Amino acid sequence: MRTVIQLTFGALALAGLTACGSGAAPAPASSSAPAKPGKIAVAATDTECKVAASEVAAGTTTFAITNGGAKVTEFYVYAPGDRVMAEVENIVPGLTRELIAELPAGAYETACKPGMVGKGIRNPLKVTGEHKKLTADAKLAEAVASYKRYVKSQSDTLLVKTQEFVDAVKAGKIDEAKALFPVSRTYWERIEPVAEIFGDLDPAIDGREADLAEGEEWTGFHKIEKDLWIHKDVSKSGPMADKLMADVKTIVEKANAAELTPLNLANGAKELLDEVATGKITGEEDIWSHTDLWDFAANLQGSKAAVQSLRPVLEERAPDLVKTLDEQFAAAEAALEVHRKGDGWQLHNELSKAELKTLSDAINALGEPISKIAPVVAK
Amino acid sequence: MFASYLIGLREGLEATLVVSVLVAFLVKSDRKDKLPQVWAGVGVAVALSVGFGALLTFTAARLEYTSQELFEAIASLLAVVFVTWMIFWMRRAARALSGELRGKLSEALKVGSFAVVVMAFLAVAREGLETALLFFASAQGAATSATPLIGITLGVITAVLIGWGLYVSAIKINLTRFFTWTGLLLILVAAGILKYGVHDLQEAGVLPGLSTYAFDISGVLPADSWYGALLTGMLNITPQPSVVEVVAWAAYLVPTLFLFLRPQRSKTTPAPASSAA
């Protein structure tokens, strides 16, 4: 037995010696211990469990648990279903113990168990991201996330405005419907590249009579446009309006659920400009209402939103391109601004050929740097 | 202070109990020559635990939570095997005595040094690392408050004293009774160690059902009470065991008790009513 006692004291002496050299003294019981960098402080008492962070990055996380209570406590990290990911026991009052947990991304719960029994005092812990530093990939991912937020905000308004438009049509309020037509389309045109991912829905919503193939049924905005401006009668347009609303709802759901890539953004920005050049400048888009400039402005804004989402990536990889883009966007916006009229724009048939040419040149000048974005992103 | 003391006591008892019975048995049966091996096993376990604990505390070395649980689980399960073997080893010795075959006693007691070393080592190493880490953590905090360090130290010393007391009283009783009682005690201890090992396997995610409790008597037996700490330290009776733990505990205890208490001549001792769990 003597040997055991000697060994015990030997261990204690060693512990005592090392204690002098370590400056990692835990904070006094009452305050929440400031953890060393990279450590998450947990201040536990008999009634509380204060975890300094509710969100950590995936990978290895170190918790420093200080027991400021009077009861012995334990600290757990639970995965859903109370699966123990990590735990440290025997945290006696006044003690700080560390727990190293390897956590993949997901939703977890932390728990302090004063008295070592029961469910413990729970706190949610979110673990996010990939276990790596903020690399170029992360910036691209952020670009996509940022653009998706834009799509969400636009599509929310699209639903509201389309509903207003549809209601006006069904109520037979032609003037109100005419005023709402370009407004609701604005939100549609801003995010059209995303909509185009879903092949058959885009033409159902935005198909033009001129582009109709033999035997296809014509539906969507432009059919109602013709009823409003040409037939001047929407008494039979109710079912068509309902179908438009249903289609818009479907596409908004799909658009927000879509997995986008940075390349989608780059290509989308380009597609929107092509739309402007081929449809809006020519006046073919809104051939009866002549509200092409609303669509023009919306396409330009949508294109800019996609480019802005990619901006952090572009600034890193092609700073000169960013400068050119900024200049050309400003030029195109200035060219369009000339034609602002009240809350909206001049009608397409109010513009001279020369004015349309100026707009067209501005768009082409912008299209050139925008077409360079995709290769940069794909690098 | 008292809370830290109880933790030290609990951790200490888990190691000293088996060691003190082992020592008593060797002394009782005139095998004092094996004692150095016991101390060697204990010494190696303590040194390893302290060294490893220091490594983890003061260097960048990292031990995954799961790895620590697995280590403790495997050490516990091995300890069960060795302690079980020791129980029946002692039973053989007892039979040699009761059968007036004293001449065969030394025969029955032939045992490799290796087994003794490993048994002593496992008894201590099982909880040694956790205890060492606890010591270092409390030593690091000693600058702010020395209470945890003093408490845990006193607890471990008390555990050693209890082990010493057990040894002294075991030495005094007559041989047959010694074998029966220490055997029964060891069966309960081994069942407890098995239960502990199973719990660790559940915590390491090897076995499921950690939070499926068989029962919860934490109201009657608070884990932070002195009797709770004693029961946990000696027999691993915990207030909130999982179903799997209880099943493993019973599956070990019942057959082992049956085998151990099989009539040798006619004298059987009923099992003490400690199977309340």
Is A34 near chain B, with CB under 8 Å? Answer: no
Above 70 in pLDDT, residue B148?
Answer: yes
Structure token pair of residue A28: 């006094």
pLDDT digits (tens, 9 = 90+) for A75-97: 999 888 777 888 888 888 888 88
Instruction: Mark yes or no for CB contact A116/B11 under 8 Å.
Output: no
Instruction: Mark yes or no for CB contact B222/A115 under 8 Å.
Output: yes
A117: which chain B residues are within 8 Å (Cβ-Cβ)? Answer: 216, 218, 222-223, 239-240
Q: What is the pLDDT of residue A17?
A: 35
Q: CA-nearest residue of chain A to B140?
A: A19
Nearest to B223 among A15, A29, A117 (CB): A117
A76-113 in b/e burial notation, b at 16+ Cβ within 10 A?
bbbbeeeebbbbbbbbbbbbbbbbbbebeeeebbbbbb
Please, which residues bridge with residue A102 across strands? A60
User: In whole angstroms, what is the distance from residue A111 CA to residue A104 CA?
Assistant: 18
pLDDT digits (tens, 9 = 90+) for A19-59: 333 333 333 333 333 333 468 999 999 999 999 888 888 87
- Which amino acid is it at A76? Y
Number of Cβ atoms within 10 Å of the Cβ of B254? 13
Question: What DSSP designation does A31 have?
Answer: S
Confidence of residue B203 (pLDDT cuts 50, 70, 90): confident
Kindly compute the dihedral angle of the four CA atoms of residues B159, B160, B164, B166, in this order, to the nearest 10 degrees: 30
* Distance in angstroms between the alpha carbons of the first and the last residue of chain B: 29
Nearest to A5 among B140, B147, B160 (CB): B160
B44 vs B4: which has the higher pLDDT: B44
Chain A: nearest CA to B136, how far in angstroms? 6
User: In whole angstroms, what is the distance from residue B40 CA to residue A100 CA?
Assistant: 32
Residues of chain B numbered 81-120 and touching chain A (CB < 8 Å):
none
Q: What is the pLDDT of residue B11?
A: 86
Is A85 near chain B, with CB under 8 Å? Answer: yes
Across the range B150-163, mean pLDDT stands at 92
Q: What average pLDDT is seen over chain B?
A: 82
Q: How far is CA A198 from the centre of its chain?
A: 19
Structure token pair of residue B76: 């516990």
Structure token pair of residue B2: 């008292």
Q: What is the pLDDT of residue A140?
A: 83
Chain A: nearest CA to B6, how far in angstroms? 9
Instruction: Mark yes or no for CB contact A115/B164 under 8 Å.
Output: no
Q: What is the pLDDT of residue A38?
A: 65
Q: What is the pLDDT of residue B65?
A: 76
Residues in chain A predicted with pLDDT less than 70, given as ranges, are 1-38, 130-136, 198-199, 379
Q: What is the pLDDT of residue B142?
A: 73
Distances (CA, A) of B100 to B23, B30, B133: 24, 17, 50
pTM, entire model? 0.52
Confidence of residue B97 (pLDDT cuts 50, 70, 90): low
Instruction: Mark yes or no for CB contact A18/B136 under 8 Å.
Output: yes
**A-B Cβ pairs (cutoff 8 Å, strict):** 147
Q: What is the pLDDT of residue B198?
A: 92
pLDDT digits (tens, 9 = 90+) for B227-270: 888 888 888 888 888 899 999 999 999 999 998 888 765 444 44
DSSP helix/strand/coil, A186: helix
Is B143 near chain A, with CB under 8 Å? Answer: yes
Above 50 in pLDDT, residue B140?
Answer: yes
Q: Maximum CA pair distance of chain A?
A: 108
Number of Cβ atoms within 10 Å of the Cβ of A346? 17
Is A15 near chain B, with CB under 8 Å? Answer: yes
What DSSP letter does each residue of A39-59 carry, written as one string?
A: EEEEEE-SS-EEES-SEEESE
Residues of chain B numbered 45-74 and touching chain A (CB < 8 Å):
46-47, 50, 54, 57-58, 62-66
Please, which residues bridge with residue A64 across strands? A41, A98
In 3D space, the residue among B17, B22, B24, B32 whose CA is nearest the CA of residue B175 turns out to be: B24
